[in-house]
Amino acid sequence: MDQDLYEPARVAAVFDRCSRRYRGWSSLASFGVIHYWRRLCVAALGLPRESTACGVDLMAGTGELWPHLLARHPRLGRITAIDISPGMHAAAMARLHAARAGRITHLCADMLRTDLPDGSADFAVSSFGLKTFNAAQHRVMARQIARILRPGAPYALIEAADPDGWVLHPLYRIHLDRVLPLVERLFLDGAQDFAMLGAYTRGFGDGQSVVDALAEAGLSVRVRRSFGGAALCFHGHKPH
């Protein structure tokens, strides 16, 4: 795997170019299943419905998790969202209409270097950003999550994986590696940025580096597999 894929500047550039079409394309490419996966991520937090917790959304993209968080927990406090891509940041800010502007703070920043205060978050979530990190970056990410969470606070992170043992794996790879790049080339001005998502998914593999990193950081960790492991939800909490 080309390690340059994980350089923060390159990741930011890829998602800058994807940002305008990201929400619609990710829904189309997953046949809408991505919305189910995001609900799964939010449910894995295990927060009470009437929770007023304040938390962080890491690699927040254009804010795709916010509607699911606020639908399940309408009384949530402030959500601090972080994303490295200025384009995704701008698209996310455009979604901060009056009903949400007072509840969501969006930071255009690298979460691996964030200086959010220790123990400042009641929960942490992330959807589909883990694959843009290599194993070494996963360890930094896990230490950041452990630092930011207060003792006892939960986290849930979901990511598309590359499930070798899945019976539909060959079709899954054809979809990611051939069909989606072709559609992008024909209908999205010849760009090949979304095709990079297939490369990131292949590099992510079975997500074991995330499990190892979270455990090494002192967090409890469980993994829920969805669609034969095509998506993995890593969840747990920071011990008291």
Q: CA-CA distance, 209 to 224, in Å (whole number)?
A: 15
Per-residue pLDDT, 162: 80
Written as tens digits, the pLDDT of the chain (240 aa) is 555 889 988 888 877 777 666 666 666 566 667 889 999 999 999 999 999 999 999 999 888 898 899 999 999 999 999 999 988 888 887 776 656 777 899 899 999 998 899 999 999 999 999 999 999 999 999 999 999 999 999 999 999 888 777 666 677 666 667 666 666 665 555 455 566 777 787 888 889 999 999 999 999 999 999 878 888 999 999 999
Per-residue pLDDT, 22: 64
DSSP state, residue 196 = H
User: Which domains, and CATH codes, for the chain?
Assistant: 3-237 (3.40.50.150)
The CA-based angle 64-70-74, given to 5 degrees, is 175
CB 236 within 8 A of CB 222: yes
**Kind of pairing, strands 104-108 and 231-237?**
unpaired
H or E element that contains 126: strand 124-127
Per-residue pLDDT, 190: 46
CB 60 within 8 A of CB 83: yes
Say which residue the tokens 């901060």 belong to: 96
Enter the pTM of the model.
0.87
Buried/exposed code over 12-23 (b: 16+ C-beta within 10 A; e: otherwise): bebbbbbbebbb
Please give the single-letter amino acid code of residue 123. Answer: F
Per-residue pLDDT, 19: 65
Per-residue pLDDT, 180: 67
Per-residue pLDDT, 88: 86
- Token pair belonging to 168: 């539909």
236: β partners: 155
